[in-house]
Structure 1
Amino acid sequence: MKPIFIDKIYWFIAFSFLFITACSDDDKIELIEPSQRVIFTSEMDFENKIEVNSEMSFGDVSAGVASRTWTFPEGVADILNSENDNTSAEENLKVRFRKTGKHNVKLHQTFKKDAYVGTTLKGKELDTTIVVTVLSPVTANIKANYINKDGSIGAALKIQNNAENEVTASRSVQFTYVIEGEPEAFLWEFEGGDPAAFEGTDENLAVKYKKQGVYDVSFVASRERPFGGDTLTLKNLIKVIPSTDPVELESVTSKNGNIALVYSREMDGATLNATDFSITLENGETILSPTISTISIDDEEGNIVLLSLGNEQIYNDDIIKVSYTAGVMATLDGVLADNFTEEQVIFNKVNILKESSEFDYSFESFTATNWPYMSWGAPWDAYTLEISGAQAQDGNKSAYVEINPGGGMIVGHKDNSGNEITFPVEAGKTYEIGVWVYVTNLGNIDPSGFDPDLRFFWFPDTDWAVVGNPTFSSNFTVGEWVYSATFVEFSQSGDKTFQIRGANEANAQTLSFYMDNISVSEASLRP
């Protein structure tokens, strides 16, 4: 007797044979070959840019191709592993480019049937042009010229090691770079100069020398892709010599909890006398007349005079004014300092808009279209804003604003893609929002109405009660840069945007002013 499971195996084999036979007779499978253009290069994500004598790969992985021809410009390329450097029928190529410039690489394809390009059906024959940019190696050189006392450009400096070009203390030099190879990043370092370092694309840079001595200059130009760079270091390029020019008080600020008087060149510590100075400090209804406990030259920067108030700590919301009665205070080269009266301390702060944001705080990088009207309706559309080089508190440009009689302004700040530019803040901290303004015309303000003002609203979660910053009262200073600030707290941490509102409703004439150097910084307030 046969086991039952053997019978089952026979039945399974027989059934499978019948099934296979049926499929072979009735269900013949027809495979459809796709027809689709797909081309790549090894640098397609980097605008097909390479450095001269570098290699680049090309690939045609299109489906349904009957034939292809790659064509390269005469005398430009070396097709590796090929005796023909102008044309090729290969699917994949590796090519070395031997000549700089923009070169058109062409691909002609013949498909077996009409081919798709993306989702669009095209014909059987397709032509494609790939533009390859071949860059020279990055090279960098610099030029330098004296800046004359009247601000005009003077004679050229000798650019070589140990040149020791003589620069009078407190005078400036204009530096310019000359480059090849399309570098994207630039870094200057100016030993003994102000600024001491600069990172940016500005072609012309003015550097002031305030300290006597012999100094180096270095310049680095670089690019990320294709990677390359060049560094130029010039030893002993600048020699700063004594001056007979008047010494200028450039700013009154803060440093390490002290009041800092920043002069245009080095001061002589032996000529300092605390009794020549007087200080007033106001904070709300509090008025103080603190005494100077010590006066000294800053250890790091010899052009800065430090005034210490001893046990009296200074805070960002203090209004501190310094006066000097001319005595014997002088520069190291023997020039006496002039007296000054009630110069206000502008605190030295870390500007979040500069350090942690793409916000164009000094109006140097974007155009007026990046400061668009924010569609609040009338009267907030009755203004004009342009980026101007006529006045600048910092850098070379500022925003020039005219607000019509009875009108207003509301502007935001957006990048070139139309996205609002943000800056980060933290809840629970106090911040100072600051701005410099230069009024050219206050107009005719109705004393019975509201004074014109600027207000910085932030979004989301703004404080609609934020005060004017500044408020343009009838006695507001005209024809000078004036700093204004207000202190705020943000209810929530995160990224914020600004909308700047200008109001001129009680003014029978146009209000016009320049605006520059907007800042947002953490602040310490008097308890």
Structure 2
Amino acid sequence: MMKNISIIIAGFFSLLLGVSCEKDEYVAPESFSDVTWYTSIRPGTPYQVSAGGFVSFRNPSPGKLTHQWEIEEGNFFLKEGFTRNDSVLDSFIDEDAGLISEETTVHVLFSNPGINRVRLYTTFEDSVAFTGEDTLYAEKVDDLWIIDKTFEIDVFDSIRPAFKVLNGDEEIINVSGEDGVQIEDSASWPEITIEAGESLTYVDLTSNGRPNARTWNLMGGKPSSGGDSIVTVSYYKMGSYFGSISSRRQGNELPPGSAFKYIPLKINVVKSSQPFVFDGNLMEHESEKISFNVTGETAPFFNEEDNFIVNVSNDVAGFEGTIEVESVEVNPNDATIIELTLAESIYNTDLVTVSYSGGAIMSLDERPLEDFGPETVQMYLGASILSNQDVFGFETPADKNGGALGWWGQHPQWSRSEDQSVGSASMQYQIDDYSSAPNVSTLHGTAAELGMSVPPGKYRMSLKVWIDPGTTIQGIRTPIIPWNLIQWDISNANKGEWVTLSKDFTFDKEYTEMKLQVHKADNSDVSGPQLLYVDDISFVELEERP
């Protein structure tokens, strides 16, 4: 609308310049009316403000006869003189203005949370219209043309954190947004005593001010901070602790706001009555370090290497023996994990076991780690050698039979699906009645798109399957080209969950294509509806121990 006004004014100046040489013939332009308004809200963004904040409104409409601004009870017109750096505007309230102002520019202080309305009522002698995202035409009342515009401002309340703390299913405290919490009153806060290794759950209940983010700060806990609405925190070290929450409203189109509140609960952590023991996850990492979990955080220790025995066997290489432990240390990021570094290399074809006895490793709450082992190490296999793993995970859709890049469905039973997947998609085999299925239902890998190259060597081939509980298919096939028939027995695989199937092979030639098949020769007694999914086909190179 300002552009329209500028064009009209520019026209006036052109008219004046054009007739300046003929002064006697000059005719003054007629007066005109137009409607426009401005606000301090950036164009294209929602009309939103925090409680205690203001919005400025201006009505410079040329040709207007009268106008007035009307606000709701609880909001206020402000006097001039404040700046955006003033955080409290109460001293600038115009007590004499009431709820109606005839000023061209007004500044409105909003105190009422929720939707607030500001009405602009303007009269004109001529018909006018506001053209914009919401076009508004004047209505004629008696001899006047009326523009009656109502602005709706969404006012966000101040944030007042609310939360509860649970010990298991038992609610320990429940703090509302109206509850004031002062650190000076901490001596009277409720207390809870828990054993090292036990957990508390913190639940954010904040609704006042519509926050969309928070930070928990939980002294002594693990994790000691978090941003989820519900966090479960374990305590491993003896001591007395408390915490706090900071609630925030953030985002480009939201009025910012934040509030902090202490959590009025003293947490006393005492020595656990449970044993401090090996807790699984014994695995090799890419670095060849071996790590395992224990049932508590571990205190610093030294010289524990001789208390571990690492036994290694490899039938193919004819190797059997122990490997010296070079160092033992607590994981620097997670004190429930202990890491071993070995003095010699190990290989993903090795069988490795770990035992511990007679040591002095202690938990943070002073419990000794009990002896364990021998326990078998899950070896690090490495990444698949397939250059385009997304294709073998059916991630990319394609407009062809089968629906997945790199594959072509000869039979309609095979189709890309996002119903079940390890990533974003998988390959589905589905038929309403298996008795009507073809003898062989085939999904072909297309060489150009597969990008498959498995050179001669030793490999572990793996794939993941998800089998519907009602499915009775016993086997599937994955022939690789040039021809090598690989069959998978799924008769004993768990149903209703993803299961990894693996086989080891020694190849004497390069393979560049593969297929997925369901063959009636493998499923002679199967009938009725069948549904399964295949995902994440991989080939991992097996290391030979020298």
TM-score band, normalised by shorter chain? 0.5 to 0.7
- Structure 1 residue corresponding to 2:260, chosen from 225, 231, 240: 231
What are the residue-to-residue correspondences of 1:452-491 with 2, within 5 Å? Answer: 474=490, 478=494
Q: Which residue does 1:186 correspond to in 2?
A: 214
- Structure 2 residue corresponding to 1:210, chosen from 236, 240, 264: 236
- Structure 1 residue corresponding to 2:200, chosen from 169, 173, 192: 173
Cα deviation for residue 145 of structure 1 reads 0.9
Q: Percent identity?
A: 16
Cα deviation for residue 192 of structure 1 reads 3.6
Give secondary structure in 2 for the equivalent of 1:510.
strand
Cα deviation for residue 307 of structure 1 reads 0.4
Q: Which residue does 1:128 correspond to in 2?
A: 149
Residues 281 and 292, structure 2, Cα contact 8 Å, conserved in 1: yes
What are the residue-to-residue correspondences of 1:134-145 with 2, within 5 Å? Answer: 134-145=155-166
Shift of the 446–243 alpha-carbon distance from structure 1 to 2, 3 Å rule, reads same
Q: Distance in 2 between matches of 1:52 and 1:436?
A: 57
Deviation string for 1:483-522 (max 9, x for gaps)?
999xxxxxxxxxxxxxxxxx9753883225999xxxxxxx
Residue identity opposite 2:38 in structure 1? I
Q: Which residue does 2:353 correspond to in 1?
A: 323
Q: Distance in 1 between matches of 2:67 and 2:401?
A: 63
What are the residue-to-residue correspondences of 1:420-459 with 2, within 5 Å? Answer: 439=466, 441=468, 449-450=477-478
Q: Which residue does 1:154 correspond to in 2?
A: 170
Give secondary structure in 1 for the equivalent of 2:430.
coil
Shift of the 448–437 alpha-carbon distance from structure 1 to 2, 3 Å rule, reads closer
Q: Which residue does 1:249 correspond to in 2?
A: 279
Give secondary structure in 2 for the equivalent of 1:232.
strand
Aligned residues: 398
Residues 199 and 234, structure 2, Cα contact 8 Å, conserved in 1: yes
Cα deviation for residue 204 of structure 1 reads 1.6
Q: Which residue does 1:7 correspond to in 2?
A: none
Q: Which residue does 2:378 correspond to in 1?
A: 344
Residues 399 and 514, structure 1, Cα contact 8 Å, conserved in 2: no
Shift of the 445–281 alpha-carbon distance from structure 1 to 2, 3 Å rule, reads farther
Residue identity opposite 1:405 in structure 2? Q
Give secondary structure in 2 for the equivalent of 1:506.
strand
Shift of the 155–408 alpha-carbon distance from structure 1 to 2, 3 Å rule, reads farther
Q: Distance in 2 between matches of 1:155 and 1:139?
A: 20
- Structure 2 residue corresponding to 1:87, chosen from 96, 100, 115: 100
- Structure 2 residue corresponding to 1:405, chosen from 430, 433, 438: 430
Matched, 1:113 2:113: no
- Structure 1 residue corresponding to 2:269, chosen from 235, 240, 257: 240
Unaligned runs of 5+ in 1: 1-18, 148-152, 350-371, 388-392, 410-434, 453-470, 486-502, 516-524
Q: Which residue does 1:261 correspond to in 2?
A: 292
Bigger drift between 250-259 and 33-42 goes to 250-259
Matched, 1:298 2:330: yes
Cα deviation for residue 123 of structure 1 reads 3.3
Q: Distance in 2 between matches of 1:85 and 1:346?
A: 75
Deviation string for 1:118-164 (max 9, x for gaps)?
285733533333222323332324321112xxxxx234169884766
Cα deviation for residue 287 of structure 1 reads 9.7
Unaligned runs of 5+ in 2: 1-18, 80-93, 140-145, 176-182, 384-394, 404-414, 432-440, 444-461, 481-486, 503-514, 520-525, 537-541
Shift of the 132–309 alpha-carbon distance from structure 1 to 2, 3 Å rule, reads same
Bigger drift between 71-80 and 227-236 goes to 227-236
Q: Distance in 2 between matches of 1:275 and 1:30?
A: 101
Matched, 1:376 2:410: no
Q: Distance in 1 between matches of 2:517 and 2:64?
A: 71
Q: Distance in 1 between matches of 2:244 and 2:263?
A: 6
Residues 251 and 263, structure 1, Cα contact 8 Å, conserved in 2: no
Q: Which residue does 1:506 correspond to in 2?
A: 518
Residue identity opposite 2:269 in structure 1? V
TM-score by length of 2: 0.56
Q: Distance in 1 between matches of 2:162 and 2:463?
A: 36
Residues 309 and 322, structure 2, Cα contact 8 Å, conserved in 1: no
Residues 215 and 245, structure 2, Cα contact 8 Å, conserved in 1: yes
Give secondary structure in 2 for the equivalent of 1:222.
strand
Q: Which residue does 1:491 correspond to in 2?
A: none
Shift of the 123–334 alpha-carbon distance from structure 1 to 2, 3 Å rule, reads same
Shift of the 194–42 alpha-carbon distance from structure 1 to 2, 3 Å rule, reads same
Shift of the 293–127 alpha-carbon distance from structure 1 to 2, 3 Å rule, reads same
Residue identity opposite 1:156 in structure 2? I
Shift of the 240–223 alpha-carbon distance from structure 1 to 2, 3 Å rule, reads same
Residue identity opposite 1:53 in structure 2? G
Q: Distance in 2 between matches of 1:292 and 1:235?
A: 51
Q: Distance in 1 between matches of 2:517 and 2:111?
A: 66
Quote the RMSD (CA, aligned, Å): 5.4
Residue identity opposite 1:260 in structure 2? S
- Structure 1 residue corresponding to 2:111, chosen from 85, 98, 101: 98
Residues 450 and 506, structure 1, Cα contact 8 Å, conserved in 2: no
Shift of the 325–384 alpha-carbon distance from structure 1 to 2, 3 Å rule, reads same
Give secondary structure in 1 for the equivalent of 2:161.
strand
Residue identity opposite 2:338 in structure 1? V
Residues 451 and 506, structure 1, Cα contact 8 Å, conserved in 2: no
Shift of the 449–513 alpha-carbon distance from structure 1 to 2, 3 Å rule, reads closer
Shift of the 95–205 alpha-carbon distance from structure 1 to 2, 3 Å rule, reads same
Cα deviation for residue 322 of structure 1 reads 5.4
TM-score by length of 1: 0.58
Residues 292 and 339, structure 2, Cα contact 8 Å, conserved in 1: yes
**Structure whose CA Rg is larger:** 2
Q: Which residue does 1:67 correspond to in 2?
A: 66
